[in-house]
Structure 1
Amino acid sequence: MTVFPGGTGVTHLTVYDWTGPDGLPGGSAHVHLVCTEGYVVLEGRGRLQTLGADGYAETPLTPLTVAWFAPGVVHRLVNDGGLKILVVMQNAGLPEAGDAVLTFPPEHLADPARYRAAAALPPDDPAGGARRRKDLAVDGFVRLRAAVERDGPDALADFYGQAAALVRDQLPTWRGRWRDGPLAAATATGEQLDRLAEGGFHHLHDGEVT
């Protein structure tokens, strides 16, 4: 992960081509609790499957497609061929710190230890662990999709509640990352605006290329 200005993060993602339990190749379904995520499609084609306030939706992904979604949108990438994406994340560091909650079946979400064990990648078999983790998340996503299509978006409430409970003990750490990253960046912009309003410009001498 590279931290960009404003406390964002970018990742170059090659989407899994492993077939899931429903026969579709693609990634691990998950939701972000406080971060907006954006995709810029670089190569290939695929689909973004989502569950949210608008129910179930599917967005086609082709080169130069730009799509983003707010916290609470459950999402899954389907790789229809060579899908590579530039991922732009709000609040760099938080998704890696647990903000991304996988859509495991309810029995896994109800037990933090069981969830962590299923989400972990064993050092002796990381690829196998990633495949098992992805299949479990797709299994949960398929169940959620069926519930949403039957009962509407309110069917996501139990999943949201379990996801929020899973991360509650991590919130103090998240707050520190937010304070030192995105909030600090926004505060620095405010200070620069104040300086410019007073006729100052010395911060411009500190500009550099990374």
Structure 2
Amino acid sequence: MVSVPPSLPGAVGLSHLSAYPWEAADGVCGGSPHLHLVCTEAYVVTGGRGAVQTLGPDGYRDIPLAEGSVAWFTPGTVHRMVQGGELRITVLMQNDGLPEAGDAVFTFPPAVLADPEWYASEARLPARSGPGAERAARRRRDLAVEGYLPLREALQAGDDGPFLAFQRAAARLVRDKVPGWRELWRSGALAAAERTGAQLDALEAGSAAHLTGAGSYDMVPVRRGGYGMCGRRDEYEPGLRAASTWPDASRRPHA
């Protein structure tokens, strides 16, 4: 009997986003610019139109998004989702569980980034739903844009100093979280890769024993319309498996 059902393929995380329609200081409607420290993120556009603005070693890019297009960005790339009209996206995240454990840093102004307590208070939402949550999400977005615009302006002028300083500040903010992230990675993405290696070893030895544990699974969002970094978010519990297929109900994660 399988003791722990498998994660999604490759131990990826999954969510669905509708980009924020709120206008920012530069007249652009969209989400909160941020980067990830160890996770690659992919946008699969399922409807509408818009763009993703990115800052990286190659400078500033404005990537158009339309139904059927896919864009992805590796760790260290600042990205900002831009609403162009009914933009809807399915998000695939590397290392299921790590983004929810804090693998993202907003482009807040340098003074906020330099103070971990100040940063945490600005990044945290007081509630998951309701008018208070919306106000806080919008204020958080505006503060991220406030710090993002000077980074973009400097890169466009050929100066990568502020961008590199932001990356260093982001790394300092998350340093204490790394031991916990390492455990999530070991039990998730690394374990998934190691299972594949064991299966290849078995097949090479002429054994099909691992196929006796075959199964099918399903899941639904545990929360709809939450306030994410980029927009309203339909969320799946990190590492959540189908309730009906858990062999031991006591091991099921809390929703």
After TM superposition, is the score higher than 0.5?
yes
Residue matched to 2:184: 177
Residue matched to 2:98: 94
Q: Tell me by how many angstroms 1:151 deviates.
A: 3.2
Does the residue aligned with 1:169 lie in a helix, a strand or coil?
helix
Residue matched to 1:24: 28
Does the residue aligned with 1:115 lie in a helix, a strand or coil?
helix
Distance across 2 between alignment mates of 1:119 and 1:34: 19
Instruction: Find 1:80's aligned residue among 62, 68, 84.
Output: 84
Distance across 2 between alignment mates of 1:32 and 1:128: 24
Higher percent of residues as helix: 1
Does the residue aligned with 1:91 lie in a helix, a strand or coil?
coil
Any gaps of 5 or more consecutive residues in structure 1?
none
Residue matched to 1:108: 112
Q: Tell me by how many angstroms 1:158 deviates.
A: 0.5
- Is 1:127 the counterpart of 2:127? The answer is no
- Is 1:199 the counterpart of 2:206? The answer is yes
After superposing on structure 2, the runs of 4+ consecutive aligned residues of structure 1 that deviate more than 4 Å are: none
* Structure-1-length-normalised TM-score: 0.96
Distance across 1 between alignment mates of 2:102 and 2:11: 17
Does the residue aligned with 2:111 lie in a helix, a strand or coil?
helix
- Is 1:11 the counterpart of 2:15? The answer is yes
Residue matched to 2:238: none
Instruction: Find 1:54's aligned residue among 41, 58, 61.
Output: 58
User: Match for 2:66: what amino acid?
Assistant: T
The Cα offsets for residues 169-204 of structure 1, whole Å up to 9 and x where unpaired, read as: 101000000001000000000000000000011111
Would you say the 8 A contact 1:30–1:102 is kept in 2?
yes
Distance across 1 between alignment mates of 2:188 and 2:178: 15
Would you say the 8 A contact 1:55–1:152 is kept in 2?
no
Does the residue aligned with 2:157 lie in a helix, a strand or coil?
helix
- Is 1:167 the counterpart of 2:171? The answer is no
Would you say the 8 A contact 1:91–1:181 is kept in 2?
yes
Residue matched to 1:43: 47
